[in-house]
Amino acid sequence: METGLRILLLTALLAMLPGCASWRHHKGQPPSAQKVPTAQSPDEAPPRVVEPEVARREIKVPKIRSSNIELGLFYGELSIEDFGAHPVSGITVAYHITEDFFFQAEAGRAEAGRTSFEVLGGNVQLLTESERRFTYYDLSLGYNFLPGEAFLGRGVAMTSAFYLIGGFGGTDFAGDTKFTVNFGAGYRVVPVDWLAVHIMAQDHVFQTSLLGTTKITNNLEARIGVTVFF
Amino acid sequence: MITRARHLALAGLLLLASLCAPAPSAAREYLQLFVTEPYLELHTGPGRGYPVFHVVPRDASVDVLFRRTDWFKVRTERGVEGWASQGDMLKTVLADGSPFRFPLGDRAGFTAHRWEMGIFAGEYGAATLVSGYAAVSFNSQLQIEGAVGNFLGKFTNGVTGDIGLAHIILPESRLSPFLTLGVGLVHTEPKATLVQPANRTEQSAYVGGGLRYYLTRRFFLRAEYKAHWIFTKRNANEEADEWKLGFAFFY
């Protein structure tokens, strides 16, 4: 095994060498590669009639600011299957790649209530207080499905988009973290270039065997959010 | 708890708003571009469907305020603000007459770019893996990359963090293989119910390879395999195979 590992590492290292070499090449040309301009003899130089005295205008090109990152907070209601609907809040970060697609990472937290079994059973406690904390994160790809404009009266027009979103992540609930698939849709209005307001609904789906049988749970979330573009 | 969360959210929002309030425009210097085509169309929003509401005539100039995806927000000499497409902006010139050039999200960009990021789903050991990565390129063939993963298994959960070098073998090709080599940390949380083993964080090293396939615009698919060696405090080191497939984009 040790020899196999050594060979594998060596192969990878060898394969990387050309990359390193081209980096050096990229940083600075070797002197031998540079062409030495041949001096022209004075006889061949064309006679100058007018000596131009106009200095060429130097253009300083200012950097163009990119505004593709969207950072914000949300607040809403999350219906945790068997544990009731409860307020949820969290943070989102999105990166707009093209006018159609964006990546989004988000994390949210809610406190689960009691199951009907616990309510009816009196002192029965299925979970401890810390296990009732429902924390999720996900990485998603969003698609601006119906871009458009929203109007406020005659004078105000705001760009907007109805978007679809889907991804995967993890949910920490009842003392375990489960692989979770999320999908949903939202509506984004951009009143000014740096600010956006979202209304969104999505489902977090994961498998659990918390209540005896293994089943797929659907945890629906509806929320509003405010984000800022950078 | 809820009130506290609400206060926290409000405070965060106020902080964000104060951070992001647009800087006074007078202090900022914008790039000035001149229209060489018969006219430059300005749209009401940054998308192909938004209507054209204004045109800038030939030889007039616009200031470039900022860029969002493939659209530029510009301001005309008369103060009209609108969105111009990437394709139209390519036909404008700088004050010295040289054409305006900027990185485009196309095949050439796939070959040579500065940043890339992506998300993956896959397997780590026998556990399901959710992972993300970001990379900075030194040149079209060599890049340094960092990856964070969360593996969720039947018996263990955990988090991995890797940093290493990636060598792209055929950067010009649409389907381009690559090799990776690096080190990392693995934090493991066993789930055993009878005996509660302690959570542990261990160092690891990996070697791997994969394929990148250019899709369109700024997107590519990335499939990857990594062989991890986890250096434990026990008698034998552990090995873990990581397989993953995901979307990535470059910028």
Here the tokens at position A70 are 């969207």
Residues of A within 8 A of B121 (CB-CB) are: 168
Are residues B91 and B213 located together in one domain of the fold?
no
**A153 plus A95 within the same structural domain:** yes
Of B236, B144, B239, B155, nearest to B195 (Cα)?
B155
- Whether A23 sits inside 8 A of B6 (CB atoms) is no
Which pLDDT score, from 0 to 100, does residue A43 have?
A: 57
Model pLDDT, residue B217: 87
* Same domain membership, residue B219 and residue B119: yes
The pLDDT score that the predictor gives to residue B23 is 46
- Domain CATH code at residue A134: 2.40.160.20
- Name which residue leads in pLDDT, A62 or A76: A76
Interface test with B, best of A16, A71, A214 (most B CBs within 10 A): A16
Enumerate residues 6+ apart whose C-beta is below 8 A from A29. Answer: none
Q: Which of A11, A17, A177, A210 to mutate: most B Cβ within 10 Å?
A: A177
Beta bridge partners of B120: B131, B246
Q: Which of B68, B102, B229 sits opposite A68 (nearest CB)?
A: B68
What are A133-186's pLDDT values in tens digits? 999 999 999 999 999 999 999 989 999 999 999 999 999 999 889 999 999 999
The ipTM value here is: 0.83
pLDDT value of residue A104? 96
Select the residue of A23, A64, A109 nearest B64 (Cβ to Cβ).
A64
pLDDT at A34 over 50: no
Give the mean model confidence (pLDDT) for residues B208-235.
Answer: 94
Tell me whether strands B61-68 and A101-111 are parallel, antiparallel or unpaired: unpaired
Per-residue model confidence (pLDDT) at position B235: 86
In a domain, B116, yes or no: yes
Among residues A184, A200, A201, the alpha carbon closest in space to that of A141 is found at A184
Please judge whether B30 and A194 are an interchain contact, meaning their C-beta atoms are less than 8 angstroms apart.
no
Task: Give the full edge-to-edge strand order of the sheet including B71-76.
Answer: B52-57, B39-43, B81-85, B71-76, B61-68, B31-35, B92-93
Selecting from A15, A18, A98 the residue whose C-beta is nearest the C-beta of B105 gives A98
Q: Do B66 and A16 touch (CB under 8 A)?
A: no
Query: Is A138 inside any structural domain?
Result: yes
CA distance A47 to chain B (A): 28
Average pLDDT over residues A104-118: 93
The parent domain of residue A8 ranges over 2-28
What are the chain A neighbours of B98 within 8 Å (beta carbons)? Answer: 59
pLDDT (0 to 100) of residue A30: 45
Q: Average pLDDT of A119-126?
A: 85
What pLDDT score does B194 carry?
56
pLDDT digits (tens, 9 = 90+) for B165-211: 999 999 999 999 999 999 999 999 988 665 667 889 999 999 999 99
Among B56, B73, B102, where does a domain finish?
B102
In a domain, B6, yes or no: no
Give pTM, 2 decimals: 0.81
Q: How many domains does chain A have?
A: 2
**Residues of chain B found within 8 Å of residue A62, distances taken between Cβ atoms:** 29-31
A-chain residues near B95 (CB < 8 A): 57, 59
* pLDDT value of residue A35: 44
pLDDT above 90 as % of chain B: 75
A107: left (phi over 0), alpha (psi -120 to 50) or beta: beta
For residue B180, list chain A residues with Cβ-Cβ distance below 8 A: 12
- Amino acid B27 reads A
Domain that holds residue B44: 31-102
Buried b (16+ CB within 10 A) or exposed e, B4-15: ebeeebeebbee
C-alpha distances out from residue A154 to A36, A87, A151, A157, B46, Å: 68, 36, 7, 8, 21
pLDDT of residue B228 exceeding 70: yes
**Does residue B38 lie within any of the structural domains?**
yes
Q: Is residue B210 part of a domain?
A: yes
The band of B155, judged by pLDDT with boundaries at 50, 70 and 90, is: confident
Between B28 and A132, the more confident residue is: A132
Q: What is the CATH number of the domain that holds B175?
A: 2.40.160.20
Determine which of A78-87, A121-130, B171-180 has the lowest per-residue pLDDT on average.
A121-130
Q: What is the CATH number of the domain that holds B83?
A: 2.30.30.40
pLDDT of A33 above 50: no
Percentage of chain B with pLDDT > 70?
87
Digit-coded pLDDT (tens) for B52-71: 999 999 999 999 999 999 99
Give chain B's domain count: 2
Q: Are residue B133 and residue B215 in the same domain, yes or no?
A: yes
Q: Looking at the partner chain, which of B48, B66, B105 has a beta carbon nearest the beta carbon of A65?
A: B66
DSSP state, A40?
A: P
Closest Cα to residue A100, out of B198, B100, B70, B214? B70
Residues B67 and B127 in one domain: no
Task: Say whether both B69 and B187 belong to one domain.
Answer: no
Lookup result for tokens 């950072």? A71
Percent of residues, chain A, with pLDDT higher than 70: 77
Residue A40 lies in a domain: no
Q: Is the pLDDT of residue A15 over 70?
A: no
Give the residue-averaged pLDDT of A87-99.
96
Widest CA span in chain B: 79
Q: Which residues of A touch B168 (CB under 8 A)?
A: 19
Same domain, A203 and A98: yes
> Token pair of B250, please?
């470059």
Residue B18 lies in a domain: no
Tokens of B207: 């070697």
CB-based contacts of B71: which residues, under 8 Å, 6+ apart? Answer: A99, B43, B46, B47, B83, B84, B85, B86
**B167 contacts in A (CB within 8 Å)?**
12, 15-16, 18-19
Look at residue A100 and tell me if it is in a domain: yes
Among A20, A65, A198, the strongest candidate for a mutation testing the B interface, having the largest count of B CBs within 10 A, is A65
Flag whether B131 is in a domain: yes
Tell me if A58 is assigned to some domain.
Answer: no
Q: Which of B102, B136, B152 is the last residue of a domain?
A: B102
What sign does the dihedral A49-A50-A51-A55 (CA atoms) show?
negative
CA distance B166 to B14: 41
pLDDT averaged over every residue in chain B: 89
In whole angstroms, what is the distance from residue A189 CA to residue A195 CA?
9
Q: What average pLDDT score do residues A98-123 get?
A: 92
CB contact under 8 A, A101 and B219: yes
pLDDT for B11: 61
Residue A36 Cα, gap to closest chain B Cα (Å): 27
